[in-house]
A and B are shown apart, each in its own frame.
Chain A
């Protein structure tokens, strides 16, 4: 991971447990925008004033190269519209995304799959309409977070993460506004596995970490197409450092991406 500025070629996009980066050209805008409620008291205020109302969060439109390969093509993976999708966009710092890089994610309604001409090339636009209303969004307070585990394979031979974690970008001791955990399983042997998040106060060493509340996938299959989003509650304390963690069940081989969105 590197900090600073970057460019679009280092973005990656994961949808419902599939890596769509191979077809991907662009996705976005990645947005959180609030309605502005004009609360100016015209008789007493000298300047107009506003408060935030409800936020609109959206991942925008994915644009990729059309591919109808059976099972693994873009049409096979994302051809169905009108359904909610777990979308995670990882933003690499002048290189492919690595642990600790920023990411944007949530559950968004896919509202189309449109083949479009782009100078003779057949491409696809997949628009998303915003946060899916299939469940309450009350506990999902910020779409931005930290990529805890970039796209990589983990084997039972190296079963746990004993590395230091990633600091809260603001460097504060802890936050107490919750957040949510996202995971996208991209490949595996079909056994079961548990993915979860650990947090720690200083010092940022292996012995400081402990599982973070409800930020766990529970037992899931190590299969492509498995994904999830788990909120931990708006009042939950999240300590300063975060890292990914894994507990193998019957699986011995899993490839996944995971992230945590810390609320402030």
Chain B
């Protein structure tokens, strides 16, 4: 366990493949992770400075990475090196019109080492019911050697920060 600063090489990204297997896929960029709140401006003319209230937060996740057709393997356990599945193998079936079920999505931030449960931070949904609640894929695009994808929350889902991994 370490605390303090870290770098992107220690970030892990997992999603549920169709069928529910938790798969870690290669990424080379990720959108800002966490909540972004709508701001409602409530300034009156008489106020000295502008004032706001926060409204509903949103937490979409956009990623890019190398197109990869490797098979699906079980993700690595805490404190282990990543075990990567193929990005295409995981994401293409999820993109099917006939597959609109949500699932888990997890981003682990290892602190200058392999992500370690109970100490290192993580964000996402790790208790999806695979029916109504979780992240759903709304974009899968391949261009050249890279892919890009986007996941959004289904209604009623509340992601969060923590230190646990997908069960």
Q: How far is the CB of A15 from chain B (nearest CB, A)?
A: 18
Assuming the A-B contacts A3-B71, A8-B144, A30-B143, are A49 and B92 also in contact, with contact meaning beta carbons closer than 8 angstroms in the complex? no
Q: Which residues of A contact B143 (CB under 8 A)?
A: 28-30, 60
Alpha-carbon distance A264/B136, docked complex (angstroms): 14
Q: Is A135 an interface residue (CB 8 A)?
A: no
Q: Which residues of B contact A5 (CB under 8 A)?
A: 66-68, 145
Residues of A within 8 A of B (CB): 3-8, 26, 28-34, 36, 39-42, 45-52, 55, 60, 91, 93, 101-102, 104, 141-142, 144, 169-172, 177-178, 234, 263-264
Which stretch, B2-10, B43-51, B103-111, B152-160, touches the partner chain A? B152-160
7 closest cross-chain pairs (CB), A and B: A49-B155, A142-B96, A29-B143, A141-B97, A144-B92, A264-B93, A31-B141
Q: Which residues of A contact B159 (CB under 8 A)?
A: 47
Q: Which residues of B contact A45 (CB under 8 A)?
A: 56, 155-156
Q: Is B17 an interface residue (CB 8 A)?
A: yes
Q: Is B18 an interface residue (CB 8 A)?
A: yes
Q: Which residues of B contact A52 (CB under 8 A)?
A: 100, 136, 138
The total of chain B residues at the interface (CB under 8 A) is 45
The answer to whether A263 touches B138 (Cβ under 8 A) is: no
The answer to whether A8 touches B93 (Cβ under 8 A) is: no
The answer to whether B19 touches A170 (Cβ under 8 A) is: yes
Alpha-carbon distance A240/B94, docked complex (angstroms): 18
Name A32's closest neighbour in chain B (CB-CB).
B95
29 contacts across the A-B interface (CB closer than 8 A): A5-B68, A6-B69, A8-B144, A32-B95, A33-B140, A33-B141, A36-B138, A40-B56, A40-B155, A42-B56, A47-B157, A47-B158, A49-B152, A49-B154, A50-B152, A50-B153, A50-B154, A91-B69, A102-B69, A142-B95, A142-B98, A144-B88, A169-B69, A170-B17, A170-B18, A171-B71, A177-B96, A263-B96, A264-B98
